[in-house]
Structure formats: structure tokens, C-alpha cells
Amino acid sequence: MSTSWPALSHLVHRFGHDTPPLDSAPAGWEPGGNTPLPKQIAMLNVAIAGSGISGLAAAISLRRSGHKVTIYERSSLNNEVGAAIHVPPNVGRFLVPWGMDPVKARLVECKYMSFHNPFTLEEVIKHDHSNDPEMFGAPLRMAHRVDLHEALKQLATDPNGPGIPAQIFVRSEVIAYDPEKPSMTLADGTVVEADLIIAADGVHSIAAKAITGQPMVPQPAQTNNCCYRFLIPTELLRNSPDTKWFLEGHPNDGTRIFSDIPGRRRIVTYPCRNKEFMNFVAICYNEKMSAKEEDWHASVDNSEVLEQFAGFHEGLCAVISKATEVKRWPLLFRPPIAKWWKAKMAAIGDAAHPMLPHMAQGGAQGIEDGCAIGLVMYGVTDPSQIPQRLAVYQKVRYNRASFIQIASNYGFDDHVQSELANYLEDRTMPKSVTDMVHGNYTYDVVKKVITVMRADVDPNYELPPDFYAAAKSAAAANSNANGHANGNANGHANGNAH
């Protein structure tokens, strides 16, 4: 169930000092939280713009590093937009030790990805993912976006979690940033000051301009500029004569891709929410597609999707015809910008590196950003150290996310490899989809932070004591099922990063 917070209606002169707690703040909650910090470590007041996936991940990591977090969200938070999302092993390895319960969140483990001819339905190739837990420390999972968002929000605001619960103010749109002060201005005139400002307000964020001094407006993709998203109840497909083929004799525990490469069209589908729904992502080129923000998440009739995918197998068209709520997105991208931070402000997620969905890593990269920015702020003894720590954040994250950003936007064919080479760092140039997936999944953001922090800041840097402490409400069964992930994360992170 979604939790609603009141809108921010008062002027905030100094965040963390004049800001009263939310009406729905937990009973008995006091500044200082559940996990007291050593006296030599400063508690930073952190203001985050945006309570999407990356903003919530940052809030979770920052509270576990001992800081006070307030999030300002432009929407009412009644409904998280989107349909479903992949949760790959590179973030599952720390989300579960954080306390996210995949069972409670109704995530589905992905056992394979298969590619099909969209005109004949013939399976062309199949990639096995059933061994991902053994290979990468966590499975590839498929989530309803609302379920993942709720799980992250719970971890960020749960009074039973480590540190101080994050607070969220809704209907609080950020319209200006000042990295030097640092502060951000809301649409109602409120000026929010903090020790650290984090922009997590998405692809249309003005954060890049505030950081670089130049407008950095994402552009429509040249080949696939349009995306339709919709969910269809699994039982509806199973019980309809013209669509029951879609699930007959099928375990429904993988991702299927129906791709028309010459026509620049493809449909990606997978189950979510305990297999109660099938998620569909239909990507194509639409000459009428607008990149205007007012057309973002526009509702359209399924007839528009059927028109765009005319000629696909009649069985697939029958499936599309069952969709009753279809949202249309413009697919926007931007080349990597030179810098993600300035003074005491940083950008994360789509605000820093918007990317096309072709690698299924966009959300995961935002989660990695959030994890990293909390960890680099651990041990800060004075706000004057923030710029040094933000430089570490960029060093940890920039090449990793930029590599995936370019590969997502342009692919990794020969003509792109010279650009990708600029961001290789400690990975090798992929020669196949399998190579790319392996590089994406094996990256360990926690280990990377520790390595860079020990090299550049403190040779004795360790993780916050409660960084992997699961919230008390997390299911014990989940902890047992994922014990190896928790143990591996703690073991290599604190002991084996050199």
C-alpha cells in the first residue's frame, strides 16, 4: 500500500534545523536514530530531489552511513509511474542484505532470456540465467516497478532500520539548484539549504546545467524513439482462446524478446508481481513521437500499438489487443557529460546519465549511484570534506555508468568501440551479448567504493557497521535463502578489497 506524505507548505530556511518532521513521522522517532555514530563523525543534513528508484537508494545508503536525509518529490507519490523493471544481480547482491525481501516484494526470478522471430514466433536463441545466483551472487529478478519502489521506500523510511528514517515531502518540485550554497529552490518559492544536495529528479532534471553551466537537454533517439508500456493480467491471457498459446506449456519464468531488427521494432515481455501480470515493452520508431515533457507517459489506445507493430504474428497482435491501459514514452538519451558534481551537489541516476532501455540497466545504474554516494559520505567529520568525497563518487561511478550509457544508446558494434574504450577501466571490451551481460553483472559497487576510498582518502576505510543490517521487518526466510549473498558482500567488501 502506498504511503502518502503531506506537501511542504512552509518556507525552509535551513534544512535540518528549521524543518519540522512530517505529520506521519514514526511515533517515538528522535534525531539520532537507532544507530548512534562515533562522536568524531559528523551527521550531514542531505536534501535529495526526487524519490524515484535512485533517490530512494541514496536515502537508504546515506541513512546507513549515519546521515539525516530529506527527500523532496514533485509528485503526490500516489502512483509510481512505469510498468516493470529488471533487478539484475549487480544490485540484488546488496539490496537483499539491505533488507529487501524479494518474496514480500513479489519479485520473480528470471531463468532465461529468449529471442524470437516476431513473424513466426520461432525461438532463435536462448540465454540461460538459471545459474546466475551461483555465478554472480544473486539472481536476475523481474519486478513490478511499484513493488520495487515500495520496497525501497520502506527501507528508506522504516523506523526499525539503521540510522535516521528518511523523510519525504511530496508535491515539492525543484526548479533551481545552487551547488555552492548549497541549496535548491522549490516551485512554491521554498529555498532548501543542506550540507549536501543530491539531484535524483530524472531525465528532465536541470541538475546537469547547474553543475556544468551548459544546458544538457536529452534528445530523442534516432533509431528507436518510442516506447509503449502495458501490463496484462496473466489469467486473462491464459483464459482467452486467442491468447492462451502465449502461456501454454510455458513456465513463465523468463524474458522473451520478439525483435524485428530491419524494421527497428521489438516487443519485450516478462512476468512480474508473482506472475500475476505480464509486462510488455514495445519499442519502435514513430515519426510523430514528441519529446516534449507534457507528452511524457501519455495514455494511448492499444490500436496505436497494433498499428506500429502491424505485420507481427497474429498471436502477438491478439495479445496486444488485450491491453487496456497503455502508456507511451519518448525514448531520450544524452551522451555522457564531463562531470556529475560541483561543490556540494551531485547528480545521480537519470539526472546524471539518462540512457535508452536496451541494456536493461538504467534503473540498476541509479541504484548503484545511490549505494555509492552513501558509502563515500561515511566517515565525514566536517562538511568541508564533501567535495573530496564527491570526487570519489565520480571516480567510482563515472566510467561504469558511462560505458553502459553509451552501449545502451548506440550498441557495442565496431564503430562504437573506440568511444567505449574511453570508459573501459577494469573491464574488457565485450565481443558478444554474453560478454556484455557478464561485465554488467560482475561489477561490485561496494568493493569499488572501498578500493577507491582506501586509495584516495583513508587507507583504513571500512563499511558502516550497519550497512548490511536488514530491517527488522524483512522476512527471515529471505535472509536464509540469500545468506551467501550477504556473507559474500560483507566478507569481500571489508576484508578483500585491496
Rounded (to 5) percent helix, strand, coil in the chain:
35, 20, 45
Q: Is 229 a catalytic residue?
A: yes
Exactly one of 229, 265, 334, 427 is catalytic; name it. 229
pLDDT of residue 498: 34
Confidence of residue 296 (pLDDT cuts 50, 70, 90): low
Cell of 309: 507493430
One-letter amino acid for residue 385 of the chain: Q
pLDDT of residue 378: 96
* Distance of alpha carbon 109 from alpha carbon 254, whole angstroms: 8
User: Is the CB of residue 375 less than 8 Å from the CB of residue 64?
Assistant: no
**12: pLDDT strictly greater than 80:** no
**149: pLDDT strictly greater than 60:** yes
Burial level of 411, CB count in 10 A (0-12/13-18/19+)?
A: middle
**For 412-452, what is each residue's pLDDT tens digit?**
555 666 666 566 777 777 677 788 888 889 999 999 999 99
CATH node for 41-85+145-217+334-467: 3.50.50.60
Q: What is the mean pLDDT of the chain?
A: 83
DSSP state letters, 326-387: EEEEE-EE-PPPS-SEETTEEE-GGGT----GGGS-HHHHHHHHHHHHHHHTTT--SGGGHH
**68: pLDDT strictly greater than 50:** yes
DSSP state letters, 153-216: HHHHH-TTSSSPPPEEEBS--EEEEETTTTEEEETTS-EEE-SEEEE---TT-SHHHHHHSS--
* Distance of alpha carbon 358 from alpha carbon 283, whole angstroms: 10
* Distance of alpha carbon 358 from alpha carbon 148, whole angstroms: 20
One-letter amino acid for residue 25 of the chain: A
Q: Is 63 a catalytic residue?
A: no
Question: What is the length of the chain?
Answer: 498
Confidence of residue 1 (pLDDT cuts 50, 70, 90): very low
Domain residues of the chain, as ranges? 41-85+145-217+334-467
Gap between the terminal Cα atoms of the chain:
43
pLDDT of residue 26: 31
Nearest to 152 by CA among 85, 201, 100: 100
Exactly one of 270, 398, 461, 468 is catalytic; name it. 270
